[in-house]
Homo-oligomer: A and B are copies of this chain.
Amino acid sequence: MQPITSRDNAKVKRLASLHKRENARREGLVFLEGERLCTDAFGSGIIPSEVVITEKNIPWAEKYAGGAEITLLSDDCFKKIAATVNPQGIACIVEQPVLEKEIPFRGDGNDIFAVLEDIQDPGNLGTIIRTSDAFDFTAVIMSPSTCDPFNEKTLRSSMGSVWHLPLVTCTMEDAFAFFAKNGIDSLAMHLKGEDLKEADIKLPAAYLIGNEGRGLTDETSAKCTRLVKIPMPGKAESLNAAAASAITGYVLSSKRR
């Protein structure tokens, strides 16, 4: 197999375009660049539709690419499709998992959900997804204006967890309707809430995390069945959204039977 050497080749142009997240999203695809992001996905059972490599990575592709179509690029062409200055020469295209509209429910009395209202920082989103995976949450529920879980920064900070658990995009109204129907307690992190340690929380439960700058909207807080807070005796006015999420996730997870 000969590598493509022309930067004007139609395939190279298409790959370069797919590396722009908005283009890949429009086609329902995710472009993963670098060995780490690719193997995170493959290790989670994701089968790529196309693997793109430079010649030195042929052995890697033979080991990992399965039956996927392989596109071989010259080092120079790979630079055109890569975001980094010194790319590893490994990328792949996978189908973007459909962001579920229906929220899954196990019904074993141990369901936990993280609900994100307009989280904007991709690193926070990835870390929250990783933590939700670690604690075996049923799903991560995101408001429609939460940032894209398949952008590169979120993929990196999720360390593969975006592929491990259901990610659901729905309105807050739909989420609360689901909680009401299934008897799921909804917890708002709120400065006026009761101490998380002392609150008599029972599962199934969902906890809601607001936007980094302004927190939960008053409208959403008012709909929650319970307001809780993490006591902060120090000088910091608030916790990072992903840090608060980790603490609440741990506390809820430790209530499982």
The residues of A with any CB-CB pair to B shorter than 8 Å are 44, 123, 127, 130-137, 157, 159-161, 164-165, 197, 230-240, 242-247, 250-251, 253-254, 256
Contacts and interface: CB of A to CB of B under 8 A. Distances in A.
Copies of the chain in the assembly: 2
Most buried by B among A44, A160, A161, A253: A253
A251 to B, nearest CB: 8
A136 B234 contact: yes
Contact of A242 (B127, B135, B197): B127
A247 B240 CA distance: 12
Given A130-B243, A134-B230, 8 more contacts: A131-B240, A134-B239, A135-B232, A165-B235, A239-B246, A240-B246, A247-B247, A247-B250
The 5 closest A-B pairs by CB, nearest first: A136-B234, A243-B246, A134-B236, A134-B232, A133-B236
B136 A233 contact: yes
A161 B130 contact: no
B246 A134 contact: no
18 contacts: A123-B123, A127-B240, A127-B242, A131-B236, A134-B236, A134-B239, A159-B238, A164-B234, A165-B234, A231-B254, A233-B253, A240-B242, A240-B246, A242-B243, A243-B245, A243-B246, A246-B246, A247-B250
B230 A250 contact: yes
Contact of A236 (B164, B236, B245, B250): B164
B164 A239 contact: no
Most buried by B among A165, A245, A254: A254
